[in-house]
Amino acid sequence: MTDNTVLNNSKAVRKSKVKKRSQLKSIWFRYKKNKLAMLGLVLLIILTLVSICAPLLANYNEDAIRQDMKNRLQFPNKDHIFGTDQYGRDLFARIIFGARVSLSISLITIAVSLSIGIIIGSVAGFYGGKIDDVLMRIMDVFLAIPQMLMAISIVAALGPGTGNLIAAMSISNVPRFARIVRSSILTIKDQEFVEAAKACGTRDGRIIAKHIVPNAIGPIIVQATLNIAETIISISGLSFLGLGIKAPTPEWGSMLSEGKEQMRYYPYLVIIPGMAIVFAVMALNLMGDGLRDALDPRLKN
Amino acid sequence: MLKYILKRIVMMVPVIIGISFLIFAIMNLTPGDPARLMLGESASNEDVEALREEMGLNDNFFVRYFNYLKGAVQGDFGVSYRSKVPVFNELFSRFPSTLKLAFGATVIMVVIGIPVGVISAVKQYSIIDNISLFSAFLLTSMPAFWLGLMLILIFALHLGWFPATGVDGFINFVLPCITLAAAMLASLIRMTRSSMLEVIRQDYIRTAKAKGAGERRLIMKHSLRNALLPVITIIGMNFASMLGGTMIIESVFAMPGLGTMTITAVRMKDTPLVIASVVFVAIAISLMNLLVDILYTYIDPRLRTQYSKR
Amino acid sequence: MADKLLEIKDLNVIYETDESTVYAVNGLNLSINEGETLGLVGETGAGKTTTALSIMKLLPEKIGLIKKGEIILDDINVTNATEHDMRLLRGDTVSMIFQDPMTSLNPTLTVGEQIAEVLELHKKDMNKEQVQKRVEEILELVGLPAERKSEYPHQFSGGMKQRVVIAIALACEPKLLLADEPTTALDVTIQAQVLEMMKELKDKLNTAMLLITHDLGVVAETCDRVAIMYAGEIIELGTVEDIFNGNKHHPYTDGLFGSLPDLTKKTRRLSPIEGLMPDPTDLPSGCPFHTRCNKCMDICKTEKPKITVDNSHMIKCHLFK
């Protein structure tokens, strides 16, 4: 490579970087002004820190799992700030380890369903015609079944357990992502820069990866954020019905289900895990919504 | 118009067949044996085998699915493995309470959601707007089962105003309906708000202002009708998804509805019942969407002429 | 001289958004007499529409703001009138025709309902039959068959929609009509028809009109006086005679005429004005036109030009003193 081309390249790179950065900057600028969205971000950071640092705050086996019948059903006090459950386990420890469980499972679920959804959606959108028809009809079938019902049936078929739960949740999320990806692709596909790339003989896979996905990323991120929130609710819902995470693993939904029996005299057993769910879900909802506004300024004003 | 409706109904058929196949396949993957579950652990292997033969469980998967489909086309959706009652009867004995639940929740949702959304849009960025937006966020973020438990805790256990369970009277439906409405309310408020905001920005609203129309007239006569179009979709979709989304709420409030029936059926591998209830819900959802589209044409004159031309 | 119907004194309007402040109108002075037609000419973004919206007090809420100056319309001070008073004025004393007829009508109401509305709002003494009669009358007046009143806007073509918009504006026989580029969105053949009709109706009803346009041909045909607007100021004002046949002009006006094709002269090329309108968030010092002016002097860059008046003709430029 001669010096000249290096120079030209670096110039081009710099230019595109500047443009990208300024775009990100303006998105961040718009996001920052949205107080609710910032609240969501702060809540999410707290939640993430707590779940990462959970082992520093409590001992998993000692506090969250081991039963201690002598100390059962203690109202919140200075030794157990959230109190203890009917087996004498520290509720605070179970809540923070529960955050780990909920967050990690929903992240994996979204990652799995997003990857499959992107593949199906982009193939359908990009190639159109028969492939599109067939794929989308199949997605319609999945979408026509209420999500919770779908997940319950799959869990019932596969049996409870973390892996099966992830599979069930992923399957029921795939169609939505596939749809979003497909519709973004349909709007982008005929634009000139894609035709230009085609005219240059670029391979289809490369066009999808380099041109189409980056342009469709906005709505995908928004949907993914909101879906994580929904997945957290669904997972705890399934666990609440006894179809999700198995005891004694601390999970917010199963904690609620256990606490429900003692609810009348020990209301904190249901109030606290519920608040934890609301906290996490709200953080993600606020963020997803803020991102949507920031990415699409037309919606504001 | 009629042609259009027929076309839509015909288009539902492949989706419904797909759903039944999907559920059939999922249920078939299940490790448990329905015959064994029906007869209990104490039954002899011969009896179980005889029942399997009788139920046609020993046939090839596709043969069984085909037989099921053949029956369904003739109106025979099979017999519940567990209760031996025809699936159809089982379904319709459970449906009324779920329908009441969904209907009550929709009424609550509309009565609160639309006015709040409109006010929120008209007074954009005001305190009212901020409060209603924040409550909407809070409501979407609340799992229905938790809200249900909280309502039971406060209004049933402590205040004793409403019963915590059952479906005997109107009063039993109050708490479940509120719980179900809460989850859907947020989306309606937000949709109404953004739709109103969109309409308020339109040129024809400015024209109306230039005529000297006051705020009340601008909202009631000029904005609401136009803004309601997308809102009706949300109401229809929410109503439909309520029909299929009552499982958790019904089990929190111990109501014998479609949802609790489905959960039990899934657990008991009662395949005919599961398929029937899922298909039933899917049909209800599709019909609801169709109804919404028809309703559209009555609100939007542009569509009315379009359809009458067909 | 006839009575002044509208007088605008030293009007300053800004648009304030989170990111920036747009100085849309800067010290504008203007008056219209009863029954007179004033053409307001200028490039896109010169502040023409803002001026009209200020008269109606329909500037975008919370963003648009009248910073300074006053507007007197029919002896009423609009600038400090309440919203309630303005409502009584709008549609009755002053009406406005907007640029785009395609979006100016409510798609879910029939055109009859939309015309009737303005009568219901202002002619409270009319009963239902009288209102309907008047609706039919006014539809015929703008050249549409009366029986089409029960149709919806989407059943009309663009030109017909603009006729409906005009019918709404004229239903109460206002004293002043603000027409914001009423023909720009229409086909050329229809433009002439609509314009001709507006002219006729205006004379018939003795309505004064502020005609906003960037089409000098339209101005020559319909207006009594012309105001040339640049960057939120009137830089030249005079009778049609002064502007089209006079020999003293603001360089910008010269530029405007220079960019028109003239069939009587043999020139090989049009001579457009170089450059763009200054950024309204960051206006230049001195004369706002100095950045593009080919006769720019040193003084233009620092000092605002004063007004030079010659009978009916007024120019705001350092060249004439």
pLDDT digits (tens, 9 = 90+) for B82-113: 777 888 888 888 888 888 999 999 999 999 99
pLDDT at A107: 92
Residue B305's pLDDT band (cuts 50, 70, 90): low
Residue C321's pLDDT band (cuts 50, 70, 90): low
Quick check: C273 pLDDT over 80? no
**CATH H superfamily, domain A46-60+101-299:** MetI-like (1.10.3720.10)
Contact B150 A271 (CB under 8 A): yes
Q: Which residues pair with C179 in a beta bridge?
A: C97, C211
User: What six digits make up the tokens of A70?
Assistant: 């002598």
pLDDT at B31: 67
Return the number of other C-beta atoms located less than 10 Å from residue C174's C-beta: 24
Q: Which residues of B fall within a CB distance of 8 Å from C174? A: none
Out of B30-39, B72-81, C246-255, give the one with best mean pLDDT. Answer: C246-255
**Is some CB atom of chain B closer than 8 A to the CB atom of C108?**
yes
pLDDT at C268: 64
Q: Are B263 and B94 in contact (CB under 8 A)?
A: no
Quick check: C131 pLDDT over 70? yes
Q: Are C111 and C149 in contact (CB under 8 A)?
A: yes
Can you tell me the distance from the alpha carbon of A94 to that of B70, in angstroms, rounded to the nearest whole number?
Answer: 52
* Residue ranges of domains in chain B, CATH in brackets: 2-73 (no CATH), 94-308 (1.10.3720.10)
Structure-model confidence comparison of residues A104 and A186, the more confident one: A104
What's the mean pLDDT in B207-228?
86
Looking at residue C284, the DSSP 8-state letter turns out to be P
Q: Which residues of C fall within a CB distance of 8 Å from B300? A: 107-108
Q: Which residues pair with C32 in a beta bridge?
A: C6
CB-nearest to A237 from B141, B145, B282 is B145
Quick check: A285 pLDDT over 70? yes
User: Which residue is it, tokens 């002064």?
Assistant: C242
Q: Nearest chain B Cα to A136, which residue?
A: B15
What's the mean pLDDT in B70-77?
79
What's the mean pLDDT in B264-281?
82
A&B contacts, CB < 8 Å: 122
Q: Which residues of C fall within a CB distance of 8 Å from B214? A: 87
CB within 8 Å of C73: residues ≥ 6 apart: C5, C6, C55, C89, C93, C94, C176
Reported pTM: 0.78
pLDDT at A111: 93
Nearest to C287 by CA among C315, C317, C257: C317
Quick check: B168 pLDDT over 60? yes
Nearest to A254 by CA among A74, A64, A113, A110: A64
Q: Which residues of C fall within a CB distance of 8 Å from B301? A: 107-108, 110, 152, 154
Contact B244 A146 (CB under 8 A): yes
- HSE at residue C33, side-chain half, CA atoms within 13 A, is 9
Can you tell me the distance from the alpha carbon of A301 to that of C16, in angstroms, rounded to the nearest whole number?
Answer: 12
